[in-house]
């Protein structure tokens, strides 16, 4: 875990960007951003279309808000980031395709989730060409099938390993037993899946958690593995009635437990 030392400051602890959707689609980015901040990223900034600025600015405090005007502007704003999350409620449209291509040129590690996965159905090679081994894909089985049609017929474990090799990056395949696969063939199975995570927005929180750890220069395979375990641990500790908004506030307790250990 990337615990801060006594000389730590916010920029040394990593900078995370989260790309928001439009005016009526900001909640997912807010969830991801708060989760990334709770995981220890020193600076978190939501990058948004101009029409979403007022909504986001009125709902966030420690998380910064920065509007962008098109893909090239997004690239400039994301250039200082160590990691960027793209996909939660980003929109299944060409704007998301162009935005991801712009982020590819920043050098930031990418956590690609939700709409930024589904938009590449039928043209997955275009996505894979934009990725490197530090990036992370976080599909549930439906999104996985859109990117890797037929892979699941060989079983989830074999499918995850082959998907990571094909994409050239880390693949986190969500489910009751979430799998994390590395392009070098390593595979981890998460032992503590929680049924309380079956609620809208929980995947957005997980994407932000991974981004928060990767922004702190944690190895992407380890970051995805650790975030997956902590995500489920937080949900299990809360139990019935959990909603996604609860999860970021539960993370300090899980982190304290790990710190003591």
The answer to whether 50 and 103 are in contact (CB under 8 A) is no
187 dihedral zone (left: phi>0; alpha: psi -120 to 50; beta): beta
Tell me whether strands 179-181 and 187-189 are parallel, antiparallel or unpaired: antiparallel
The answer to whether 54 and 26 are in contact (CB under 8 A) is no
| pLDDT at site 113 | 98
The sheet with strand 43-48 has its strands ordered as 64-67, 43-48, 15-19, 83-86, 109-112, 136-137, 170-173, 179-181, 187-189
Give the global pTM. 0.97
- 3-class secondary-structure state, position 141: helix
Tell me whether strands 43-48 and 64-67 are parallel, antiparallel or unpaired: parallel
CA-closest candidate to residue 39, choices 260, 261, 247:
247
| Token pair of 188 as six digits | 């981890």
| pLDDT at site 216 | 97
The architecture of the domain spanning 15-251 is 3-Layer(aba) Sandwich (3.40)
Q: Residues in the chain with pLDDT < 70?
A: none
Four-CA torsion 236, 238, 244, 245, nearest 10 degrees: -150
Tell me whether strands 109-112 and 136-137 are parallel, antiparallel or unpaired: parallel
| pLDDT at site 261 | 78
Residue in the structure block whose two tokens are 């200082």? 80
Distance CA 29, CA 252 (A): 20
Give residue-wise pLDDT tens across range 209-261.
999 999 999 999 999 999 999 999 999 999 999 999 999 999 999 999 999 87
């Amino acid at each position: 875990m990337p615990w801060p030392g006594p000389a730590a400051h916010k920029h040394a602890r990593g900078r995370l960007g989260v790309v928001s959707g439009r005016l009526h689609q900001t909640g997912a980015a807010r969830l991801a951003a708060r989760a990334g901040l709770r995981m220890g990223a020193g600076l978190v900034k939501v990058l948004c279309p101009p029409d979403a600025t007022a909504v986001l600015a009125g709902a966030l405090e420690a998380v910064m808000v920065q509007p962008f005007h098109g893909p090239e502007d997004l690239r400039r704003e994301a250039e200082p980031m160590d990691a960027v999350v793209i996909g939660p409620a980003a929109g299944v449209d060409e704007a998301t395709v162009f935005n991801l291509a712009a982020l590819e040129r920043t050098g930031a590690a990418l956590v690609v989730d939700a709409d930024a996965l589904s938009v590449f159905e039928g043209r997955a090679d275009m996505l894979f060409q934009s990725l490197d081994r530090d990036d992370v894909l976080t599909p549930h089985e439906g999104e996985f099938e859109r990117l890797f049609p037929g892979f699941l017929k060989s079983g989830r474990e074999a499918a995850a390993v082959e998907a990571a090799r094909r994409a050239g990056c880390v693949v986190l395949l969500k489910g009751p037993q979430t799998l994390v696969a590395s392009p070098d063939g390593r595979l981890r199975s998460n032992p503590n899946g929680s049924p309380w995570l079956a609620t809208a927005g929980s995947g957005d929180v997980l994407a932000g958690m991974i981004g928060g750890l990767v922004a702190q220069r944690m190895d992407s395979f380890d970051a995805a593995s650790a975030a997956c375990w902590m995500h489920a641990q937080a949900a299990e500790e809360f139990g019935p009635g959990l909603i996604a908004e609860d999860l970021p506030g539960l993370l300090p307790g899980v982190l304290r437990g790990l710190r003591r250990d």
